[in-house]
Structure 1
Amino acid sequence: MEIRILDLDGSLPSQAPVAHRLQAGQAVLHDLRSFGPALRLWARRQSYAAFEAFWKSLPQPSGPSLTLVGSGDFHHLTASFIAAAPGPLTVLHFDNHPDWCWTMPRRHCGSWVNEALALPHVERVVTIGPCSDDLVRPDRKGANLEALSNGRLELFPWWHGPSETRKPVRSGAGHDAADGMIRWHNLVDQDWGTFLCALMERIKTDRIWITIDKDVLPPTEAVTNWDQGGLPLQRLIEAIRRLTANFTVVGADICGEYAPIRHRNPFKLIESRLDQPRIDKVPDLAVNAETNERLIAAFEAAL
């Protein structure tokens, strides 16, 4: 398995699980700090095109690859990773946020799922773990409820109350819809092994892509720039083991590091202050290194 470290915000190279793999030649570092500010949170067309040109210039790995990108503010890069991967494939998306909104600019960390769904070789995206307020009145927040209705997008919150919506929504694998309400099949109420078995039975492609934003984890298991969910790390690792044992993983990526917010763009600064929790002091980031070690090791053992 090839491990690629995209250094966009300085959060990764000094972490012990990353540093020792770089030193041992088990990972490759790409210094993209000059790209970081323009890509972080969202990117204009020209800035994103520059990143895509870089990504397409890299040699295609002969086998599965794992890419680490830093803050969840860069999750929209996942759409480019998936675009370059062989298909047909299903995307397994672990996140505290559905990332399903229609946004402007189009390349936004809150909208990349729509970019993935637009790719002809992506059959379905399955989002696992959200608890966030993005599920409160999702119709008013630009959510892609059409994909939820037609089954190309499945969503399974860790826990969330019913969501009111004025847009018509059909029931699906992760929810029941009726009378203007979406009632979610919360994972906290389900046996994890039974859920994974049912999930794998519904995946019709041999190939999968796994994308992880660590804000899906509770604050005891990750420190991120975003509000966080409650999916236990051990359950996430169990999902990785079960999925990699039953499907061909063409690639995976991990984001959700903590990186100080230093936006120079005033619109990004305003958006981050509105959408992201305020952190008054530098948090203890040791837990991120511990969690990354366990996640990277899980992929190394399986791939």
Structure 2
Amino acid sequence: MRLQIIDLDAGVAAQEPLRRRIDAGAATRIDAADLACRLRIVASRGALQSLASRLKPAAGGSSEPCVTFYGSGDFHHLTAGLVAAVEGDVTIVHFDNHPDWVRFPATVNCGAWVNRALELPQVRKVVTIGPCSDDLVRPELQFANLDAVADGRIALFPWRHAPSRVWGRYGATASYRQQGGHLHWRNLADEDWDAFLDELVAAIPTRAVWLTIDKDVLGPQDACTNWDQGQMPLGYLLAAVERLAGARAIAGIDVCGDWSQPRFRDPFRAGLAFFDHPKAVTPTPDALARNGAVNEALIGCFERVLS
């Protein structure tokens, strides 16, 4: 595999597991700190174009699957741009505490990137695994793309969540059933994980799979992020990666969810961060060390399954 770090916010490049690989020449660091303020939360077109121009030389025409780390989940919308380089049909498997399915505003932002990915002709489906967040509380009022869920372009499997109150009619899919004014989700925390992974693999419509991981899908015991966090145990995430890599061709992987101090140059993004983020807490060194340990475990898993 090819390992690259987009250094936007110093959230990952200085971490021991990644710094060591950068120093040894086993990973490529792309300096993008000057773009961070224009990419965080909502991306400007110019910043995206500048980033793309820096990523192209790093690829060097390699056909190996690329694993990309890029810091905070505030930048999760970079996934859509990374997947845009995939040739041929692909399914995105998305591990996250948030569905990132907002339809309005139709910008390139961290809460809406799934819709930008679905606009790519090669993306057949997005499977989102692990949400526990309040994004599923009255999702229509939060501009959720429930139409894509109903027609199967998005399959959403919460780790644990109460039924969602809705007004529309969305039928039933493999991930929920509607009873009256509520969508009753399958709670993966209550299911056999191996059986679910077998079902997941069988339902993927493409040979190629892109994995995108936001570490806020994990609980605070495993990760320290800028967002509210879920409950999926790390072992379950690693088992899913191994199962998917054994059954499908991995087109690429991206990982976010490392903590960094949000910095902005404009009141618009600062306001969005203020209202969207949970109350700001400065993490302890021990809390930040969890991210390094999780990243080490993830890289070890990727090296095993992609070798």
Residue 57 of structure 1 deviates from its aligned partner by 5.1
Q: TM-score, normalization: structure 2?
A: 0.95
Residue 96 of structure 2 corresponds to 95
- CA shift for structure 1 position 51: 2.6
2:117 is aligned with what amino acid?
Answer: A
Q: Where do residues 46-85 of structure 1 align in structure 2 (5 Å cutoff)? A: 46-56=46-56, 58=58, 59-85=60-86
- Number of the residue aligned with 2:292: 289
Could you tell me whether the CA contact under 8 Å between 1:158 and 1:187 is conserved in 2?
Answer: yes
SS at match of 1:208: strand
**Number of residues of Structure 1 aligned to a counterpart in Structure 2:** 303
What is aligned with 1:137?
Answer: 138
- Residue in 1 that maps onto 2:29: 29
Do the aligned residues in 2 keep the contact of 1:42 with 1:105 (CA within 8 Å)?
no
1:88: Cα distance to partner?
Answer: 0.8
* Structure 2 residue 168 is the aligned partner of structure 1 residue 167: yes
Q: Is the 8 A contact 1:125 1:152 kept in 2?
A: yes
Distance across 1 between alignment mates of 2:103 and 2:300: 35
- What residue is the counterpart of 2:264 in the other structure? 263
- Contact 2:118-2:126 within 8 A present in 1 as well: yes
Cα pair 1:43 1:105 within 8 Å, conserved: no
The match for 2:12 is 12
Q: Secondary structure at the match of 1:42?
A: coil
Amino acid across the alignment from 2:38:
A
Match of 2:212 in 1: 211
Structure 2: segments with no counterpart, 5+ residues: none
Q: CA deviation at 1:105?
A: 5.8
1:184 maps to amino acid: W
**TM-aligned CA deviation for residue 200 of structure 1:** 0.7
The 5 A counterparts of 1:143-292 are 143-283=144-284, 284-292=287-295
Structure 2 Cα separation of the partners of residues 262 and 65 of structure 1: 28
C-alpha distance 25-176 of structure 1, shift in aligned 2 (>3 A): same
How far apart in 1 are the matches of 2:47 and 2:269? 15
User: How far, CA to CA, are the matches of 1:70 and 1:53 in structure 2?
Assistant: 19
CA positional deviation for 1:282: 3.3
Native 8 Å contact 1:22 1:29 kept in 2 = yes
Measured after TM superposition, the shift of residue 273 of structure 1 is: 1.5
**Cα distance, 1:81 vs structure 2:** 0.7
**Separation of aligned partners in 2, 1:99 and 1:183:** 19
Partner of 1:112: 113
Alpha carbons 2:227, 2:278 under 8 Å: kept: yes
Q: CA RMSD in A?
A: 1.3
Shift of 1:199: 0.6
Q: Given the two structures, how large is their TM-score scaled by the length of structure 1? A: 0.97
Does the CA contact (< 8 Å) of 1:7 and 1:13 recur in 2? yes
Equivalent position amino acid for 2:145 in 1 = N
Range moving further from structure 2, 169-178 or 10-19: 169-178
**Residues 247-293 of structure 1 deviation map (CA, whole Å, 9 limit, x = unaligned):** 10010000000001222221211221211112333333010000000
167-176 or 231-240: bigger deviation: 167-176
Deviation string 1:33-71 (CA, Å, 9 cap, x unpaired) is 001110001123333333334344543431111000100
Contact in 2 for aligned 1:72/1:224 (Cα 8 Å)? yes
User: Aligned-pair distance for 1:180?
Assistant: 2.0
